[in-house]
Each structure stands twice: as C-alpha cells, then as structure tokens.
Amino acid sequence: MKHFLTVEDMSANEIISLLDMTAYFRQNEPKISEQLFIANLFFEPSTRTKMSFTVAEKKLGLEILDFHAETSSVKKGESLYDTVKTFEAIGANALVIRHEDDYWAEELANVSIPIINAGAGKAAHPTQSLLDAYTIYEEFGYFEGLNIVIAGDIKHSRVAHSNIEMLTTLGANVFVTGAPEFIDETINVPYISFEQAIKHCDVLMLLRIQHERHNESFDISAYHKQYGLTIQREKSMKQNAIILHPAPINRGVEIDSSLVECGRSRIFKQMENGVFVRMAVLVNQLLQWGIINDYKIKKCANTKGEQPIRKVRTVN
C-alpha cells in the first residue's frame, strides 16, 4: 500500500484521475458513512494547507483528532516516529503530516495507515502541486505545450520541486526564472530571464521569498525592482496568461500588492480549489488502502445533482 508522499512516481493518468475526482468533489458533497479518525500533524506553521484539509475532512464527515505540536508530548521530546506510532495505536485511520525535515517520510514507510504529505521541508508539497495543476486545468483544459514559468525562491521551495515534477509529467513546458542565487542547480528545466518569462508564459507561478530559510540579509526593494511582478511588467503578459502563487504572499516583494487580486490572478481560486483537491486525495487514499469502499460514500442532501466524474483523458 502506498502513502501519498510525492508526485515523482505518479503517471500523467494518475494525476489526471485525481484532478477529475477533484472536479467531482466541486459538484458533489458525498459523506463517508462510517466513523473514521484523521489526525492533522503539523510541526511547521500553516494556514491554507491545514485549514483546507480540515474543511475537506469535515465535508467528508471524517472525525478530526485535535493535535497541536506545541501542547503535545512533542514538547517532552517525543519523536515524529513515536508520535505517528501513537496515533496508529489509538485508532487513527489516516494521517496528514507537515514537517520541516525534507526526509521525514522515510522512517514512516511501514506505518499501517495512510500518510498524506502536507509539506516536507524544501523537498515536496504534493497536494499544493495538485491544486496548482487543477487551477491550470480548470483554466486551459490541457497541459501539453503550455508555457509555465516558476519564478522566485526556487532553491528553498518545496512547491517548486513538486510542481516541476508534476507539470513536466503532464506535458507542460516548464521554465524557472528569478535571482540566480535562488536557482537550484539540481533542477533539470531551462532558466529564462524574468523579462522573457513575463512575455511568453501562459502561467506565471510566483513563489514567496522564504526569509525563514535564508541565512543572509535580503534587500527587498532591490529584489522587487529586478524580479518582482510590477504593474508595468504585468502589462506585457499575454492576454490570457494567469498568475499563480501558493501563498502566503510577501506583498510588494515578489508581487505588487495591487496585482494580488487583479483580473489574471488565480491566487484565491487556488486556495478554494485546495479544499476539493484534498477531499480527492483523502478519499483516494482511503479507497486504495481498503478503509472505505464506494458503498460507504453516500451522497448528502445538498448534493448538487448527478455529476459523474469526467472521463479520464489519456495523456501520452
């Protein structure tokens, strides 16, 4: 049985299938009919990911085990492994984990309940990539040939690492841009200048400057001038190009504050989509592990009509 930890080993069809499940959950609100316990174990701060998992779990009728690292036995020195084994022992049916270590999942491979990665250090953030992909899919309906530029603090970004993997698998042309000191040399996609990126992209994915992961001081105004999306630069984007950002946003650093909610911004749409993506991932894991079967997902009273999952497109 496979935990949901990375996008690296996912095929295009597996990704599209999850996006189609997401579309289903946007239209339908099925509940899981039996009592199941989910714990959201966040060892790093989060607003969007933690709260959208919480909303997703509540919409599905799952019971959430309340955990706050700062008031738990983690403060007495309990390790991640022993915390996870404790939740497994007391009857949690699945775990959602965010932790600052890039490799936290390695020691949890044999845990007998599904684990969903909600962020691993600088390495991976698979549900963020899925919601980014869903937002692009909703906009364009395809990935093949789209020019997607990831701009900013690539080196410290788990979002960049997961998105490069996922969007390349889906057939998009993925590029990176930004200050050379933030480019990760291990990444195998072309680097283009910021001005080229702005003019030619269909999707501009801006990343937060991750001050908490930097050792050196940083000149915000110089960065904004050279690598920020300013009102002037936004004017040279293609007519139908969209702006994404995983947030939280440093307004006035990677993006001018007035562009955060501009016509081509999908930043809050991404957050909205995050709930349905996380419903899809949770249900997919519970189904794959045999914890639920199709019969246990009941439609609730407020279901908005019969909306079958769209036919899964085959991606070559």
Q: Which residues contribute to the site for ligand CP (CB under 6 A)? A: 46-49, 119, 128, 246-248
Between residues 47 and 257, which has the closer beta carbon with respect to ligand CP? 47
CB of 45 to ligand CP, least distance (A): 6
CB of 249 to ligand CP, least distance (A): 10
Between residues 174 and 277, which has the closer beta carbon with respect to ligand CP? 277
Q: In the 8-state DSSP scheme, what is residue 207?
A: -
CA angle 37, 105, 297 (to 5 degrees): 30
Whether 92 contacts 39, CB under 8 Å: yes
CB of 247 to ligand CP, least distance (A): 5
Between residues 47 and 79, which has the closer beta carbon with respect to ligand CP? 47
CB of 163 to ligand CP, least distance (A): 12
The two tokens of residue 55 are 């909303």
Distance between CA atoms of residues 190 and 293, nearest Å? 43
CB of 158 to ligand CP, least distance (A): 8
CB of 248 to ligand CP, least distance (A): 6
Between residues 247 and 262, which has the closer beta carbon with respect to ligand CP? 247
Between residues 192 and 244, which has the closer beta carbon with respect to ligand CP? 244
CB of 178 to ligand CP, least distance (A): 18
Distance between CA atoms of residues 51 and 47, nearest Å? 6
Residue whose entry in the numeric block shows the structure tokens 């269909």:
202
Between residues 128 and 135, which has the closer beta carbon with respect to ligand CP? 128
CB of 91 to ligand CP, least distance (A): 26
Between residues 47 and 307, which has the closer beta carbon with respect to ligand CP? 47
Between residues 114 and 246, which has the closer beta carbon with respect to ligand CP? 246
Distances (CA, A) of 128 to 9, 125, 220, 294: 16, 6, 26, 26
Q: What is the distance of C-alpha 96 from the center of its chain?
A: 13
Query: Amino acid identity of 51?
Result: M
SS3 215: coil
Distance between CA atoms of residues 183 and 149, nearest Å? 13
Distance between CA atoms of residues 229 and 227, nearest Å? 7
Q: In the 8-state DSSP scheme, what is residue 314?
A: P
CA angle 87, 45, 186 (to 5 degrees): 100
CB of 119 to ligand CP, least distance (A): 6
Burial class (CB within 10 angstroms; exposed 0-12, middle 13-18, buried 19+) of 127? buried
Distance between CA atoms of residues 95 and 39, nearest Å? 5
Kindly state the greatest CA–CA separation across the chain.
Answer: 57
Between residues 189 and 247, which has the closer beta carbon with respect to ligand CP? 247
